[in-house]
Amino acid sequence: MRKKIIAGNWKMNMTPSEAVKLVETLKPLVNNPDVDVVFCVPAIDLIPVAEAAKGSNIQVGAENMYFEDKGAYTGEISPLMLTDAGIKYVVLGHSERREYFAETNETVNKKMLKAFEHGITPIMCCGESLQQREQGVTMDFIRQQVKVGFLGVTADQAKTAVIAYEPIWAIGTGKTATTEQAQEVCKDIRACIAEIYDAATAEAIRIQYGGSVNAETAPDLFAQPDIDGGLVGGASLKPDFGKIVNYK
């Protein structure tokens, strides 16, 4: 059985002092040994959040990472910086990064390879726009994101990765894909991984659903056979995140 992984994506929210307060509030509420709990936080919050989370079940992730170890890349954060700070996860290829900061499947792939090189678990995001869904090309589009994203990744590495399926039309809109829609796409993503690698790799990889996940929708979503948790946006900044983590 795959262990559920529920990650909060804070996006561009929380100053360092606010972040520490939020961690202190959420620590007792997300204490569930049956779930991997990850707080993916802005770069400036990584160290104070990691410090505040010590002794708890909370693991800390970054929201982005560059694909070089060091160099003249002003404003970027490197995998060496993350590992030295004790960061275990990194979100890669979020739709907002793709839309606003021109990230491509190819740059996401470079970041995936670099994350594995340094023992950081990538949470690779994929998802379609409303127009793509209406045009009936959802899986064509997502399969390309997955296949290019995992190019050069070994089966053993892929087994440890996390894929987050987030329909772009459901992010921050209050709209959630129906349970059936979410399960259908996550099942197809798993089938795509099986095509790239094999059935064992597909069975091992964890696939999250993201897009306006809340305490009400989480139980049904996480009960689906191919949905292994969630990447949670706005709701991860509130005490209700505890209800999502303790969805049963």
Tokens of 8: 């909060």
Contact in structure between 52 and 86 (CB atoms under 8 Å): no
> Does the annotation mark 166 as catalytic?
yes
- Pure H helices in the chain: 16-26, 46-52, 79-84, 95-100, 105-117, 130-134, 138-149, 155-160, 179-196, 199-204, 218-222, 241-245
> Does the annotation mark 51 as catalytic?
no
Contact in structure between 124 and 111 (CB atoms under 8 Å): no
Q: Which of 94, 96, 103, 128 is catalytic?
A: 94
**Over the range 195-224, which residues count as b (16 or more CB within 10 Å of their CB) and which as e?**
ebbeeebbebbbbbbbbbbbbebbebbbeb
Among the listed residues 50, 72, 47, 71, the one whose alpha carbon sits nearest the alpha carbon of residue 59: 50
CA–CA distance, 6 with 215 (Å, rounded to integer): 12
Tokens of 59: 């693991």
CA–CA distance, 147 with 157 (Å, rounded to integer): 14
Contact in structure between 240 and 17 (CB atoms under 8 Å): no
Q: Which of 63, 103, 128, 166 is catalytic?
A: 166
Pairing relation of β-strands 206-210 and 121-126? Answer: unpaired
Contact in structure between 60 and 47 (CB atoms under 8 Å): no
Residue 195 CB contacts under 8 Å (≥ 6 apart), including other chains: none
Tell me the catalytic residues. Answer: 94, 166
